[in-house]
Chain A
Amino acid sequence: MDITVESIVFLIFGVLTLGSALLVVTTRNLFHGALYLMASLFGVAGLFVLLAAPFLAGVQVVVYIGAIAILIIFAIMLTPQVTAMRSVRTAQWPVAVAVAVIFFALLVSVVTPLMDELGVDDFAADFTQENPPDVPADSLVRLGEQLVDPQQFMLPFEVASVLLMAALIGAVLLVWPEGTRSTPPGEAGDD
């Protein structure tokens, strides 16, 4: 395998993703953990770009860094004593290790046949700009069309929207002040 610019960039993003992921779980400082999580998610976005899937990379950054990680940080800032978490090892740690190993095995067992199906049997297949992976050029347009095509992914797409809508309404209901269910929260305490 020749060393191309792509392979170097892949190594950088791979190390960034895995290294940050490791630091997320080992650091004693919750705030740093959240920042490492962002770095790790950013590395994944970089890998998406290398796989010629820029749309997924953009969505990865918008959703995970722009929304989820920022909300995690917001929650952490409201927590007292975030800088010096004591090492807490409960009796559950063997179970946790077992679950992690099983989950990893599950992921591998799902991804491996998928790779055969897609024809990616050679891990060292070096994709470069001259030898790109087999991705259609208009993947963005096709993604959009398939999401609203009744024959394809319209049902899961709509189910996901309804789920998110329910979560939105649920969140509004949760923060509604007690005893003022009939009036909107802003006007309840006015007079």
Chain B
Amino acid sequence: MTELLQDIGLSHGLAVFIAKAVGVMVVGAFGLLWTLLGIWIERKAAGRFQDRLGPNRVGPFGLIQSIADTVKILLKEDLMPQGADRWVFNLAPIVSVVSVMLIWAVVPFSGSWIGSDLNIGVLYLVAVGAFGTVAVLMAGWSSNNKYALLSAFRSVAQLVSYEVPMVLALLVPVLLSGSMSTQTIVEQQHIMYLLAVPLTVLIFLTSGQAETGRGPFDLLEAESEIVSGFHIEYSGMKFGMFYVAEFLHAFTIGVLTAILFMGGWRGPFAEDVPLLGFIYLMIKSMVAYMVLIWVRMTLPRLRIDQLLDFNWKFLVPLSLVNLLVVAFVWKILPDTDQINSFGDALVPTLVLLVVNIALIAGVGAILRERGRRERQRVEARLTAAESAAAGD
């Protein structure tokens, strides 16, 4: 495209600039249009998980429900509470969507389709994630509403805490591939990392679910406690933008899981046909995303103290141990810095898999023991209460 623009007489710098701008728009438009279909898929799946039909009235199978919702949301009155901080209030939904769209810049859609193959790709992912937290803070504070403010407080506790295990989980594919570039991480997965480090994938999905603020970690918008949290005062398209950002963030976690652990665009003939690689990536992303929806629809919401206990007393120590063990095994295995084919990757993958299974078994034993002790404590309390009631 750059050559084409230069041919019609533009300077090199301008041609590169225009080509990049078009690329940004294509990726951005794809992400936002995908949201329309994705929300329909999610609502259908959620319906099935809860033994109901989901959207089924507008269009065949309710397919154009999202479009109807978009029209409705655009026509709604745009309200702003009295005493709201006008600029911050209007800026927050935009920051929220942009923080998610920025992640797509480093998503390798296929061997040659990537927005920008940064050599700090994974660090970039963590960096732009910070803006999502800022958006929640801005919305919560500027709404001039106590529930929104409470939600902003929770967001700091939750989003900042769960960033720690997330970063520690992200370090594992970086360690295994020897690079922070997302494209190199995909290329290095001659055998997908999911098979080598399943525990890391579980940690990443758990902390990813918490980072997006979805059930069982939906404390930011807990309907029964703080009504709907930081976006309580937003109406119309501004609310729509938060909704889109939340959906897109959750789906992006699925995409990242596919890239970092499931081999991204890799698959039969994907090297020669870029479109095929893109299709593989979307299929893998949907698989990871379905797991996230499944968890979201199955588990009840946690309390804030349970949420923080789980993170700091279980997830963070676990991901630290996991990282140390993987790094140690990777160091003592021979030739792990020159893995260029399926055959090279086979032995390290098997060793890591065995180590991971041992780790998971150990963690499982600890969890069983904790659960047993907790049940005993509750039972002891119940019998004490019963005997006290009988004594009256």
B-binding residues in A (CB < 8 A): 4-5, 31-32, 35, 38, 54-55, 57-59, 61-62, 65-67, 69-71, 73-74, 77, 83, 140, 186
Contact B134 A70 (CB under 8 A): yes
- Taking the closest CB of chain A, its distance from the CB of B135, in whole angstroms, is 11
B126 CB contacts on chain A under 8 angstroms = 58, 62, 66
Contact B134 A38 (CB under 8 A): yes
Tell me, in angstroms, the Cα distance from A38 to B88 when the chains sit together.
13
25 A-B residue pairings within 8 Å (CB atoms): A4-B13, A31-B85, A32-B85, A35-B88, A35-B138, A38-B134, A54-B118, A54-B120, A55-B123, A57-B120, A62-B123, A65-B134, A66-B130, A66-B133, A67-B160, A69-B134, A70-B130, A70-B156, A73-B134, A73-B137, A74-B153, A77-B152, A83-B85, A140-B119, A140-B120
Tell me, in angstroms, the Cα distance from A92 to B114 when the chains sit together.
55
A-B contact count (CB 8 A): 69
Known contacts A67-B130, A73-B141; 20 further A-B pairs (Cβ under 8 A): A4-B13, A31-B85, A54-B118, A55-B120, A58-B123, A59-B123, A61-B127, A61-B128, A62-B126, A62-B127, A66-B127, A66-B129, A69-B134, A70-B156, A73-B134, A74-B137, A74-B156, A77-B141, A77-B152, A186-B313
Tell me, in angstroms, the Cα distance from A77 to B131 when the chains sit together.
18
Tell me, in angstroms, the Cα distance from A83 to B127 when the chains sit together.
29
A71 CB contacts on chain B under 8 angstroms = 156
Is B309 at the interface (CB under 8 A from chain A)? yes
- Taking the closest CB of chain A, its distance from the CB of B229, in whole angstroms, is 15
Chain B interface size band reads 20 to 34
A-binding residues in B (CB < 8 A): 13-14, 17, 85, 88, 118-120, 123-124, 126-131, 133-134, 137-138, 141, 149, 152-153, 156, 160, 163, 180, 305, 309, 313
B123 CB contacts on chain A under 8 angstroms = 55, 58-59, 62
B152 CB contacts on chain A under 8 angstroms = 77
- Taking the closest CB of chain A, its distance from the CB of B101, in whole angstroms, is 16
Contact B119 A54 (CB under 8 A): yes
Contact B180 A5 (CB under 8 A): no
Q: Which 9 A-B pairs have the closest CB atoms?
A: A66-B130, A61-B127, A58-B123, A58-B127, A58-B120, A74-B156, A54-B120, A5-B13, A62-B127
Q: Given contacts A65-B130, A65-B134, A140-B180, is CB(A58)–CB(B119) below 8 Å? A: no
B149 CB contacts on chain A under 8 angstroms = 77
Tell me, in angstroms, the Cα distance from A74 to B14 when the chains sit together.
43
Tell me, in angstroms, the Cα distance from A59 to B119 when the chains sit together.
13
Contact A77 B153 (CB under 8 A): yes
Chain B, residue nearest A70 (CB): B133
Tell me, in angstroms, the Cα distance from A32 to B119 when the chains sit together.
34
A186 CB contacts on chain B under 8 angstroms = 305, 309, 313
Tell me, in angstroms, the Cα distance from A38 to B138 when the chains sit together.
12
* Partner pick for A31 among B88, B129, B309, CB 8 A cutoff: B88
Tell me, in angstroms, the Cα distance from A70 to B133 when the chains sit together.
8
Chain A, residue nearest B122 (CB): A58
B124 CB contacts on chain A under 8 angstroms = 58
Tell me, in angstroms, the Cα distance from A6 to B118 when the chains sit together.
18
Tell me, in angstroms, the Cα distance from A38 to B153 when the chains sit together.
18
Chain B, residue nearest A54 (CB): B120
Chain B, residue nearest A65 (CB): B130
- Taking the closest CB of chain A, its distance from the CB of B391, in whole angstroms, is 19
Chain A, residue nearest B163 (CB): A66
Tell me, in angstroms, the Cα distance from A137 to B65 when the chains sit together.
50
A67 CB contacts on chain B under 8 angstroms = 130, 160
